[in-house]
Protein backbone atom coordinates (compact mmCIF):
# COMPACT_ATOMS: atom_id res chain seq x y z
CA UNK A 1 0.00 0.00 0.00
CA UNK A 2 1.35 3.42 -0.93
CA UNK A 3 -0.32 5.68 1.64
CA UNK A 4 -0.13 4.74 5.31
CA UNK A 5 -3.17 5.78 7.30
CA UNK A 6 -1.07 5.69 10.46
CA UNK A 7 1.37 8.21 8.98
CA UNK A 8 -1.47 10.55 8.05
CA UNK A 9 -2.77 10.35 11.61
CA UNK A 10 0.62 11.06 13.15
CA UNK A 11 0.94 11.21 16.92
CA UNK A 12 -2.74 11.78 17.72
CA UNK A 13 -3.76 9.79 20.79
CA UNK A 14 -7.39 9.32 19.71
CA UNK A 15 -8.72 8.35 16.28
CA UNK A 16 -12.42 8.36 15.42
CA UNK A 17 -13.41 6.08 12.55
CA UNK A 18 -16.49 7.72 11.06
CA UNK A 19 -18.81 6.40 8.37
CA UNK A 20 -21.12 8.47 6.22
CA UNK A 21 -23.50 5.51 6.04
CA UNK A 22 -23.59 1.76 6.50
CA UNK A 23 -21.34 -0.20 4.13
CA UNK A 24 -19.10 2.81 3.53
CA UNK A 25 -15.97 0.74 4.16
CA UNK A 26 -15.37 1.96 7.72
CA UNK A 27 -14.57 -1.47 9.14
CA UNK A 28 -12.15 -2.15 6.29
CA UNK A 29 -10.41 1.14 7.06
CA UNK A 30 -10.34 0.25 10.76
CA UNK A 31 -8.80 -3.15 10.03
CA UNK A 32 -6.15 -1.54 7.86
CA UNK A 33 -5.22 0.91 10.59
CA UNK A 34 -5.10 -1.84 13.24
CA UNK A 35 -2.78 -3.82 10.98
CA UNK A 36 -0.52 -0.82 10.34
CA UNK A 37 -0.16 -0.17 14.05
CA UNK A 38 0.61 -3.86 14.65
CA UNK A 39 3.36 -3.66 12.03
CA UNK A 40 5.07 -0.83 13.92
CA UNK A 41 4.40 -2.37 17.36
CA UNK A 42 2.31 0.54 18.59
CA UNK A 43 0.17 -0.06 21.65
CA UNK A 44 -3.44 0.56 20.70
CA UNK A 45 -6.92 0.17 22.14
CA UNK A 46 -10.21 -0.27 20.26
CA UNK A 47 -13.75 0.49 21.32
CA UNK A 48 -16.98 1.73 19.74
CA UNK A 49 -19.68 4.34 20.15
CA UNK A 50 -22.29 1.88 18.93
CA UNK A 51 -21.87 -1.76 17.89
CA UNK A 52 -19.60 -3.12 15.21
CA UNK A 53 -17.73 -6.23 14.18
CA UNK A 54 -20.65 -8.55 13.46
CA UNK A 55 -20.39 -10.56 10.24
CA UNK A 56 -23.97 -9.73 9.19
CA UNK A 57 -25.35 -6.22 9.50
CA UNK A 58 -28.20 -6.44 11.99
CA UNK A 59 -30.23 -3.77 10.16
CA UNK A 60 -29.66 -4.45 6.47
CA UNK A 61 -28.93 -8.19 6.64
CA UNK A 62 -25.90 -7.75 4.37
CA UNK A 63 -22.51 -9.33 5.04
CA UNK A 64 -19.75 -7.12 6.39
CA UNK A 65 -16.10 -7.52 7.33
CA UNK A 66 -15.27 -8.50 10.89
CA UNK A 67 -12.81 -6.63 13.11
CA UNK A 68 -9.46 -8.40 13.45
CA UNK A 69 -7.13 -7.46 16.30
CA UNK A 70 -3.60 -8.55 17.12
CA UNK A 71 -1.93 -9.79 20.27
CA UNK A 72 -1.36 -6.96 22.72
CA UNK A 73 -4.39 -4.92 21.66
CA UNK A 74 -6.53 -3.43 24.43
CA UNK A 75 -10.25 -3.88 23.85
CA UNK A 76 -13.22 -2.24 25.54
CA UNK A 77 -16.51 -3.89 24.66
CA UNK A 78 -19.84 -4.93 26.16
CA UNK A 79 -19.90 -8.05 28.32
CA UNK A 80 -22.54 -9.80 26.19
CA UNK A 81 -20.24 -9.63 23.16
CA UNK A 82 -17.35 -11.50 24.77
CA UNK A 83 -18.86 -14.78 23.53
CA UNK A 84 -18.30 -13.58 19.95
CA UNK A 85 -14.62 -12.89 20.64
CA UNK A 86 -12.25 -15.67 19.57
CA UNK A 87 -9.05 -14.28 21.08
CA UNK A 88 -7.34 -15.43 24.24
CA UNK A 89 -7.81 -12.56 26.65
CA UNK A 90 -6.89 -11.20 30.05
CA UNK A 91 -9.73 -9.30 31.71
CA UNK A 92 -8.37 -6.06 33.16
CA UNK A 93 -11.58 -4.44 34.37
CA UNK A 94 -15.35 -4.77 34.42
CA UNK A 95 -16.36 -1.11 34.43
CA UNK A 96 -19.55 0.49 35.72
CA UNK A 97 -20.28 1.85 32.22
CA UNK A 98 -23.52 0.28 31.02
CA UNK A 99 -24.62 -0.44 27.44
CA UNK A 100 -27.71 -2.29 26.16
CA UNK A 101 -25.38 -5.31 25.89
CA UNK A 102 -24.08 -5.18 29.44
CA UNK A 103 -21.24 -3.49 31.24
CA UNK A 104 -18.16 -2.41 29.32
CA UNK A 105 -15.31 -4.87 29.89
CA UNK A 106 -11.67 -3.99 29.27
CA UNK A 107 -9.32 -6.80 28.28
CA UNK A 108 -5.89 -7.38 26.79
CA UNK A 109 -5.73 -9.67 23.75
CA UNK A 110 -3.23 -12.47 24.30
CA UNK A 111 -3.66 -13.74 20.73
CA UNK A 112 -4.91 -12.47 17.41
CA UNK A 113 -8.52 -12.93 16.38
CA UNK A 114 -11.92 -11.37 15.76
CA UNK A 115 -13.89 -9.16 18.13
CA UNK A 116 -17.22 -7.41 18.26
CA UNK A 117 -17.28 -3.95 19.77
CA UNK A 118 -19.91 -2.03 21.71
CA UNK A 119 -19.22 0.91 23.97
CA UNK A 120 -20.77 3.92 25.66
CA UNK A 121 -23.11 6.31 23.88
CA UNK A 122 -22.70 9.11 26.43
CA UNK A 123 -19.91 11.61 25.87
CA UNK A 124 -18.72 11.74 29.49
CA UNK A 125 -18.55 7.95 29.67
CA UNK A 126 -16.57 7.72 26.43
CA UNK A 127 -14.13 10.31 27.75
CA UNK A 128 -13.72 8.35 30.96
CA UNK A 129 -13.19 5.11 29.04
CA UNK A 130 -10.60 6.75 26.79
CA UNK A 131 -8.63 7.89 29.83
CA UNK A 132 -8.79 4.42 31.36
CA UNK A 133 -7.49 2.78 28.18
CA UNK A 134 -4.64 5.27 28.03
CA UNK A 135 -3.83 4.53 31.68
CA UNK A 136 -3.55 0.85 30.72
CA UNK A 137 -0.88 1.80 28.20
CA UNK A 138 -2.70 2.58 24.94
CA UNK A 139 -0.72 5.07 22.88
CA UNK A 140 -3.63 5.45 20.47
CA UNK A 141 -7.32 4.74 21.10
CA UNK A 142 -9.36 3.84 18.01
CA UNK A 143 -13.05 4.64 18.39
CA UNK A 144 -15.49 3.13 15.93
CA UNK A 145 -18.30 5.58 15.27
CA UNK A 146 -20.64 7.05 12.69
CA UNK A 147 -21.27 10.58 11.50
CA UNK A 148 -25.04 10.16 12.02
CA UNK A 149 -24.49 9.39 15.70
CA UNK A 150 -23.19 12.88 16.24
CA UNK A 151 -23.86 13.50 19.94
CA UNK A 152 -21.76 10.59 21.26
CA UNK A 153 -19.22 11.24 18.51
CA UNK A 154 -18.43 14.45 20.36
CA UNK A 155 -16.36 12.35 22.71
CA UNK A 156 -14.25 11.01 19.87
CA UNK A 157 -13.48 13.75 17.37
CA UNK A 158 -11.06 15.92 19.36
CA UNK A 159 -8.17 13.85 18.06
CA UNK A 160 -7.93 12.64 14.48
CA UNK A 161 -10.73 11.37 12.25
CA UNK A 162 -10.86 9.00 9.31
CA UNK A 163 -14.05 9.48 7.31
CA UNK A 164 -15.37 6.62 5.18
CA UNK A 165 -17.85 7.24 2.40
CA UNK A 166 -19.21 5.18 -0.43
CA UNK A 167 -21.79 4.27 -3.02
CA UNK A 168 -24.21 2.96 -0.38
CA UNK A 169 -24.93 6.57 0.60
CA UNK A 170 -26.72 7.31 -2.68
CA UNK A 171 -26.90 5.82 -6.20
CA UNK A 172 -25.77 9.16 -7.64
CA UNK A 173 -22.02 9.67 -7.35
CA UNK A 174 -22.26 13.47 -7.45
CA UNK A 175 -24.63 13.40 -4.47
CA UNK A 176 -22.26 11.18 -2.52
CA UNK A 177 -19.37 13.53 -3.25
CA UNK A 178 -21.40 16.64 -2.32
CA UNK A 179 -22.62 15.16 0.97
CA UNK A 180 -19.13 13.97 1.85
CA UNK A 181 -17.65 17.35 0.99
CA UNK A 182 -20.15 18.97 3.36
CA UNK A 183 -19.18 16.71 6.26
CA UNK A 184 -15.50 17.30 5.48
CA UNK A 185 -16.10 21.03 5.70
CA UNK A 186 -17.73 20.63 9.11
CA UNK A 187 -14.92 18.42 10.39
CA UNK A 188 -12.31 20.98 9.34
CA UNK A 189 -13.95 24.13 10.71
CA UNK A 190 -11.44 26.55 12.25
CA UNK A 191 -11.01 26.79 15.97
CA UNK A 192 -12.28 29.99 17.52
CA UNK A 193 -9.55 32.12 19.11
CA UNK A 194 -11.89 33.70 21.66
CA UNK A 195 -15.55 33.52 22.65
CA UNK A 196 -16.89 36.88 23.74
CA UNK A 197 -20.66 36.79 23.34
CA UNK A 198 -23.66 34.55 23.70
CA UNK A 199 -27.23 34.71 22.42
CA UNK A 200 -28.13 37.56 24.80
CA UNK A 201 -25.71 39.93 23.00
CA UNK A 202 -27.63 40.32 19.79
CA UNK A 203 -26.02 43.67 19.01
CA UNK A 204 -22.80 41.92 18.05
CA UNK A 205 -22.03 39.73 15.05
CA UNK A 206 -20.38 36.96 17.05
CA UNK A 207 -22.72 34.37 18.56
CA UNK A 208 -21.72 31.48 20.80
CA UNK A 209 -24.21 28.61 20.90
CA UNK A 210 -24.12 25.86 23.48
CA UNK A 211 -25.67 22.62 22.31
CA UNK A 212 -26.90 21.70 18.85
CA UNK A 213 -27.57 24.17 16.05
CA UNK A 214 -30.48 22.99 13.88
CA UNK A 215 -32.35 24.10 10.78
CA UNK A 216 -35.28 25.33 12.87
CA UNK A 217 -32.96 27.37 15.10
CA UNK A 218 -31.29 28.96 12.10
CA UNK A 219 -34.66 29.86 10.58
CA UNK A 220 -35.93 31.39 13.82
CA UNK A 221 -32.74 33.39 14.37
CA UNK A 222 -32.88 34.77 10.83
CA UNK A 223 -36.50 35.75 11.24
CA UNK A 224 -36.08 37.51 14.59
CA UNK A 225 -32.93 39.33 13.55
CA UNK A 226 -30.55 37.53 15.93
CA UNK A 227 -28.56 36.10 13.05
CA UNK A 228 -27.32 38.70 10.59
CA UNK A 229 -25.27 38.51 7.44
CA UNK A 230 -21.52 38.29 8.13
CA UNK A 231 -22.14 36.81 11.59
CA UNK A 232 -19.75 34.34 13.19
CA UNK A 233 -21.32 31.34 14.94
CA UNK A 234 -19.18 29.44 17.43
CA UNK A 235 -20.13 25.98 18.64
CA UNK A 236 -18.51 23.43 20.95
CA UNK A 237 -17.42 21.17 18.08
CA UNK A 238 -18.46 20.02 14.62
CA UNK A 239 -20.91 17.43 15.97
CA UNK A 240 -23.15 20.25 17.20
CA UNK A 241 -23.95 21.44 13.67
CA UNK A 242 -27.19 19.63 12.86
CA UNK A 243 -27.94 21.63 9.74
CA UNK A 244 -28.91 20.15 6.42
CA UNK A 245 -26.42 20.75 3.65
CA UNK A 246 -28.92 23.10 1.97
CA UNK A 247 -29.39 25.25 5.08
CA UNK A 248 -25.66 25.36 5.75
CA UNK A 249 -24.94 26.48 2.18
CA UNK A 250 -27.69 29.10 2.43
CA UNK A 251 -26.10 30.56 5.56
CA UNK A 252 -22.64 30.51 3.99
CA UNK A 253 -24.02 32.40 0.97
CA UNK A 254 -24.93 35.16 3.43
CA UNK A 255 -21.30 35.20 4.62
CA UNK A 256 -22.22 33.59 7.94
CA UNK A 257 -19.22 31.60 9.11
CA UNK A 258 -18.70 28.90 11.72
CA UNK A 259 -16.00 28.33 14.32
CA UNK A 260 -15.62 25.60 16.94
CA UNK A 261 -14.13 25.52 20.42
CA UNK A 262 -12.66 22.05 19.83
CA UNK A 263 -11.51 21.22 16.35
CA UNK A 264 -10.36 17.92 14.92
CA UNK A 265 -7.80 16.64 12.47
CA UNK A 266 -9.46 15.01 9.47
CA UNK A 267 -6.56 12.77 8.53
CA UNK A 268 -8.01 10.89 5.56
CA UNK A 269 -11.10 10.01 3.57
CA UNK A 270 -11.62 6.42 2.47
CA UNK A 271 -14.01 5.41 -0.29
CA UNK A 272 -16.00 2.30 -1.17
CA UNK A 273 -17.26 2.40 -4.77
CA UNK A 274 -19.50 -0.68 -4.28
CA UNK A 275 -22.87 -0.39 -2.55
CA UNK A 276 -24.78 -2.92 -0.51
CA UNK A 277 -27.76 -2.21 -2.75
CA UNK A 278 -26.21 -3.66 -5.88
CA UNK A 279 -25.01 -0.56 -7.71
CA UNK A 280 -21.43 0.62 -7.95
CA UNK A 281 -19.35 3.52 -9.19
CA UNK A 282 -16.32 3.47 -11.43
CA UNK A 283 -13.61 3.23 -8.77
CA UNK A 284 -11.06 5.45 -10.51
CA UNK A 285 -13.63 8.13 -11.36
CA UNK A 286 -14.96 8.14 -7.82
CA UNK A 287 -11.46 8.50 -6.39
CA UNK A 288 -10.47 11.26 -8.81
CA UNK A 289 -13.65 13.28 -8.33
CA UNK A 290 -13.47 12.97 -4.55
CA UNK A 291 -9.84 14.10 -4.61
CA UNK A 292 -10.82 17.21 -6.60
CA UNK A 293 -13.20 18.40 -3.87
CA UNK A 294 -10.87 18.36 -0.89
CA UNK A 295 -7.21 18.74 0.07
CA UNK A 296 -7.64 15.81 2.49
CA UNK A 297 -5.94 12.58 1.29
CA UNK A 298 -8.45 10.17 -0.30
CA UNK A 299 -7.80 6.43 -0.33
CA UNK A 300 -9.68 3.53 -1.87
CA UNK A 301 -9.00 0.93 0.81
CA UNK A 302 -11.36 -1.50 -0.91
CA UNK A 303 -8.59 -2.20 -3.44
CA UNK A 304 -6.69 -4.22 -0.88
CA UNK A 305 -7.12 -7.67 0.56
CA UNK A 306 -7.05 -7.31 4.32
Q: What is the rounded CA–CA span in Å between residue 149 and residue 63?
A: 22
Q: Residues 151-177: what's their mean pLDDT?
A: 84
Strand partners for 76: 106
Confidence of residue 2 (pLDDT cuts 50, 70, 90): low
Q: Residues 65-88: what's their mean pLDDT?
A: 95
Domains of the chain, CATH where assigned? 5-186+264-303 (3.40.50), 206-260 (no CATH)
Q: Residues 171-188: what's their mean pLDDT?
A: 95
pLDDT in tens, 205-249: 889 998 899 999 999 999 998 899 999 999 998 889 999 999 999
Report residue 56: phi and psi, to 5°.
Answer: -120, 130
Determine the pLDDT at residue 164. Answer: 95
Does residue 4 register a pLDDT over 60? Answer: yes
Determine the pLDDT at residue 295. Answer: 94
Determine the pLDDT at residue 97. Answer: 95
Which parts of the chain fold into alpha helices (H)? 5-9, 26-39, 123-135, 150-153, 173-187, 215-223, 245-253, 283-293
Q: Residues 14-37: what's their mean pLDDT?
A: 93
Determine the pLDDT at residue 139. Answer: 96
Contact 214, 283 (CB under 8 A): no
Confidence of residue 195 (pLDDT cuts 50, 70, 90): very low
Does residue 165 register a pLDDT over 90? Answer: yes
Confidence of residue 123 (pLDDT cuts 50, 70, 90): confident
pLDDT in tens, 248-289: 999 999 999 999 998 889 999 999 999 988 999 999 999 999
Axis-axis angle for helices 245-253, 215-223 (nearest 10): 30
pTM: 0.87
Amino acid sequence: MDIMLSELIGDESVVAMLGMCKNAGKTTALNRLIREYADINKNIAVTSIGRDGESIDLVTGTSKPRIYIHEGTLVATAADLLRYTDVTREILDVTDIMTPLGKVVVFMAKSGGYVQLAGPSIVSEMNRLRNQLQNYGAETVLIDGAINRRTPASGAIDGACVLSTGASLNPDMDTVISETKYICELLTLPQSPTITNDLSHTETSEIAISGAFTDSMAKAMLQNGTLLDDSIITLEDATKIMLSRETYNRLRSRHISFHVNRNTKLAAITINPVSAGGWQFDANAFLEEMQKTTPIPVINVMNEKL
